[in-house]
């Protein structure tokens, strides 16, 4: 993918994201049809499906040779990241969308031969687009995001994570995680993985730790966080696969080693 091609795809993707966002805002007070997926708290609405179907239709029309991975299944069943792949979460934070009508995002990551080239995370209700192209910096609307501070101390870190880390879980001894939350300065839970990545990139939280995310939750976020010098791996420090679910730790690079070492003490 050359720079001109990438710019054209980026501009097109941005336009579709804004149009999809506008449609969601216009219908935000319409009655919702809500279904559940893997469990009673795993929600999906007609708006999730409509939004993904919109992207898939547009991409197939404009770029028939591109591939699509989408949460709601309108895309392709891919076993490789060869070529250009759009990785789409039409609404990230569906629970927030349903219960709060805010704090959700459209997330679009565009990868070429496995490398993240474009990341778009659109906070729909606040009309804020976090966006990046590889090696060209990250932006919040028109403002360029500063490189992350390189001297954040463990004791002063705010980490995005939810309460499940403090309950018995399959990944890490909860006692170690209880020590962890006492050691850091504070925790935050926003309920949208994409927005948590955006907040790491913005430097308003120092890391985001999560047990089980799919490629569409993180594809855009990784590109954006990379551009400000952040790093993303699983909780053991291993590079993530964009074709399967992973535990995820994205953070300010100055914290990565120390936090991974800490978690390692309780990792199962």
* Binding-site entries for Mg(2+): 71, 89, 91-92, 217
Site for Ca ion in 229-268 (CB under 5 A): none
Nearer to ligand IPD, 77 or 163 (CB): 163
Task: Report helix, strand or coil for 88.
Answer: strand
Does residue 193 belong to the site contacting ligand IPD (CB under 6 A)?
A: yes
44 vs 70: CA distance, rounded Å: 13
Q: Any alpha helices (H) in the chain, and if so which ranges?
A: 3-26, 46-62, 94-100, 174-183, 193-202, 215-227, 253-264
Site for ligand IPD in 47-86 (CB under 6 A): 71
Q: How far is the CB of 216 from Ca ion (least distance, A)?
A: 6
Q: For residue 233, what are the CA distances in angstroms to 207, 239, 242, 251, 260?
A: 11, 5, 11, 9, 10
The tokens for 229 are 């010098």
Cβ partners under 8 Å of residue 77, min gap 6 = none
Q: How far is the CB of 105 from Ca ion (least distance, A)?
A: 9
Does residue 217 belong to the site contacting Ca ion (CB under 5 A)?
A: yes
Does residue 206 belong to the site contacting Ca ion (CB under 5 A)?
A: no
Whether the Cβ atoms of residue 234 and residue 248 lie closer than 8 Å to each other = yes
Nearer to ligand IPD, 192 or 256 (CB): 192
Site for ligand IPD in 85-124 (CB under 6 A): 89, 92-94
Which spans of this chain sit near ligand IPD (rule: CB under 6 A)? 71, 89, 92-94, 191-193, 213, 217
């Amino acid at each position: 993918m050359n720079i001109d091609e990438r710019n054209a795809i980026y501009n097109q993707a941005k336009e579709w994201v804004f149009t999809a966002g506008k449609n969601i805002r216009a219908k935000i007070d319409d009655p919702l049809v809500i279904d559940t997926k893997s469990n009673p708290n795993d929600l999906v609405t007609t708006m999730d499906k409509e939004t993904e179907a919109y992207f898939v239709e547009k991409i197939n029309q404009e770029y028939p040779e591109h591939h699509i991975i989408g949460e709601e299944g309108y895309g392709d069943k891919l076993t490789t990241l060869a070529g250009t792949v759009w990785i789409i979460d039409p609404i990230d934070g569906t629970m927030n969308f349903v219960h709060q009508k805010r704090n959700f995002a459209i997330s679009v990551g565009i990868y070429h031969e496995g490398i993240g080239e474009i990341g778009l995370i659109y906070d729909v209700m606040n009309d804020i687009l976090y966006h990046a192209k590889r090696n060209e910096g990250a932006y919040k609307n028109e403002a360029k995001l500063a490189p992350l501070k390189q001297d954040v101390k463990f004791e002063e870190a705010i980490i995005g994570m939810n309460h499940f880390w403090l309950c018995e879980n399959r990944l890490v001894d909860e006692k170690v995680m209880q020590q962890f939350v006492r050691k850091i300065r504070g925790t935050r839970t926003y309920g949208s993985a994409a927005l948590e990545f955006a907040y790491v990139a913005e430097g308003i939280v120092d890391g985001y730790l999560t047990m089980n995310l799919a490629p569409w939750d993180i594809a855009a976020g990784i590109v954006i966080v990379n551009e400000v010098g952040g790093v993303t791996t699983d909780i053991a420090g291993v590079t993530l696969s964009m074709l399967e679910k992973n535990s995820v730790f994205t953070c300010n690079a100055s914290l990565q080693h120390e936090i991974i070492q800490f978690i390692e003490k309780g990792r199962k």
